[in-house]
Amino acid sequence: MVIGVIPARFASSRLLGKPLANIGGKPMLQHTFESASNSKFLEKIIIAVDDTKVEETAKKFCKDVILTPKTIETGSDRIAFVIEKIPKADIIVNIQGDEPFINGRMIDEAIEPLLFDKTINVSTLAKKITNTDDLKTSSIPKVVFDYENFALYFSRSPIPYVRNSKSVIDKINKVDMYKHVGLYVFRRNTLFKFTKLEQTDLEMAENLEQLRMLENGIKIKIVVTEYETLSVDTPEDLERARKYYRKISKNK
């Protein structure tokens, strides 16, 4: 069974109450749920919340809402808490609650490798960087991967380092550089293995939990997507999301 879980944490350090942030008259969490509902492979979507206010709001548009302990610190741990009670869930998709415009096809692209190759235990998405803002900002992780599309490293810094480049735009023109889209697909056993591992040195240095997998030998399949997305992490991101929603609403 393929299940999507949207972890929604009220007490975000950079944007308090983020799941309830208003975008075009709807809470951001509802936008994420409705976007994810366009996936063809997801058989069920669960929203995992840590706050009764978010729970009350989520129940207005989603029938599967689970209140999880506030002591759970990460989205992956929140998902593991939920999935432990669903033995039929063998492929689990971690859908970030701050991706209000994620395309359902993107989710399906990430799921496909696990459907067709039993040796793959984790997959995620990457998008080619085409503008200097995405390359420069530390809020957008970057990823490099091998010829078989398995991740080599993730970083908040621009990678790879382009030695002979004269400017940021020159780096983009000389080498294909990719940003990481924070959606993960796990096999059940790998999810539980990952969440039981201790935090690692590189993970703490970069503040990127996916590095814990690489440091412990868990291979991550990278699926390159052509779809663009917009992650909301700060008040500035939220304003961009509102402007984007106004723009696409006019074109409907």
In a domain, 195, yes or no: yes
pTM score: 0.90
CATH number at residue 191: 3.90.550.10
Q: Read off the pLDDT band of 132 (50, 70, 90).
A: confident
pLDDT at position 251 is: 67
In a domain, 250, yes or no: no
Q: Read off the pLDDT band of 175 (50, 70, 90).
A: confident
Q: Mean pLDDT, to the nearest integer, of 1-13?
A: 86
Could you tell me if residue 217 is left (phi over 0), alpha (psi between -120 and 50 degrees) or otherwise beta?
A: left
**Cα radius of gyration (the chain):** 18
What is the number of domains present in the chain? 1
pLDDT at position 167 is: 79
CA distance 145 to 196: 25
In a domain, 172, yes or no: no
- Average pLDDT across the chain, whole number: 91
Residue 91 reports pLDDT greater than 80: yes
8-state DSSP, 240: H
In a domain, 69, yes or no: yes
72 or 46, which is more confident: 46
pLDDT at position 228 is: 84
Q: Determine what percent of the chain is predicted with pLDDT higher than 90.
A: 67
Q: Which domain holds residue 78?
A: 2-126+180-244
Q: Mean pLDDT, to the nearest integer, of 74-100?
A: 92
Residue 41 reports pLDDT greater than 90: yes
In a domain, 54, yes or no: yes
In a domain, 144, yes or no: no
Q: Mean pLDDT, to the nearest integer, of 135-163?
A: 92
pLDDT at position 247 is: 86
Q: Determine what percent of the chain is predicted with pLDDT higher than 70.
A: 97
Residue 166 reports pLDDT greater than 80: no
In a domain, 175, yes or no: no
8-state DSSP, 19: G
In a domain, 134, yes or no: no
Q: Which string of b and e fits 98-127 if b means at least 16 CB within 10 Å?
A: bbbbbbbebbbbbbbbbeeeeebbbbbbbb
